[in-house]
Amino acid sequence: MNQHVLDIHTHHEDGKPGEAIICKMPHDFVPTPGYWYSVGIHPWEVLNIHGKELLDLHSLAQHHQVVAIGETGFDRIRPLSQFTQTLLFGNHSNIADEVGKPLIIHMVKAADLLLAEKKKLNPQVPWVIHGFRGKPQEAEQLLNAGLYLSFGEHYNVDTLRATPLDRLFLETDEATCGIGFIYDKVAADLGMEVERLKEVVKKNIDCIFFNGDSRMFGQKQ
């Protein structure tokens, strides 16, 4: 194992180096050595982006500290044009495929839209839905389509228990609690030792976010 990431999605930048994947918009991506990032245009921000944002995203996607693209996605609670969200999502997905990095997805009441896009775009990289709070039935559809689920501070415990361990990630997102608290809570809900849970999730992170990228690690061990 060649990395120490425990938290695949956070907006906090005050954690230990290398422990989280920090989510940034292209215009505020200022990488600190030793930290990992995802870069994308959040669907809530589509009305605030400037013209160069997509071009910048395209070039930043290749940065060696950027290990994922996003968050991007669909949000039916916010008054955003579905057309614009779909267009931007398609752009992010294409960029992710081009650079061979997974896509981090924000999805609120839009599983149908996401599944339709999955069929249409036929992505070559893993898609990870962050902050998943859906019910087991919705999770099953998404898992059957090959997607991964990331759980944060709030989740449906039955969904968590029904998620195969090799499709599971954990995150803090905007939570004020640390990632350690989330591991403790999830381990208790799964009836697992927390150290064992960390091993399982780190293995997933290694496989999905870090595997095969020789630019990042030089030689593999």
Q: Which residues bind Zn ion (CB under 5 A)?
A: 173
Nearest approach, Cβ of 21 to Zn ion (angstroms)?
11
Nearer to Zn ion, 19 or 173 (CB): 173
Nearer to Zn ion, 13 or 193 (CB): 13
Nearer to Zn ion, 25 or 201 (CB): 25
Nearest approach, Cβ of 195 to Zn ion (angstroms)?
27
Nearer to Zn ion, 6 or 190 (CB): 6
Nearest approach, Cβ of 70 to Zn ion (angstroms)?
9
User: What amino acid occupies position 74?
Assistant: F
Strands (E), the chain: 7-10, 20-24, 36-39, 66-75, 103-108, 127-129, 148-151, 168-170
Nearest approach, Cβ of 12 to Zn ion (angstroms)?
10
What residue is closest to Zn ion based on CB? 173
Q: Which residues pair with 206 in a beta bridge?
A: none
d(CA 5, CA 138): 27
Nearer to Zn ion, 172 or 190 (CB): 172
Q: Could you give the strand order of the β-sheet that contains 148-151, starting from the edge strand earlier in sequence?
A: 7-10, 20-24, 36-39, 66-75, 103-108, 127-129, 148-151, 168-170
d(CA 27, CA 76): 25
Nearest approach, Cβ of 10 to Zn ion (angstroms)?
8
Question: Is residue 198 classed as helix, strand or coil in its secondary structure?
Answer: helix
Closest CA to 44 of 11, 6, 5: 11
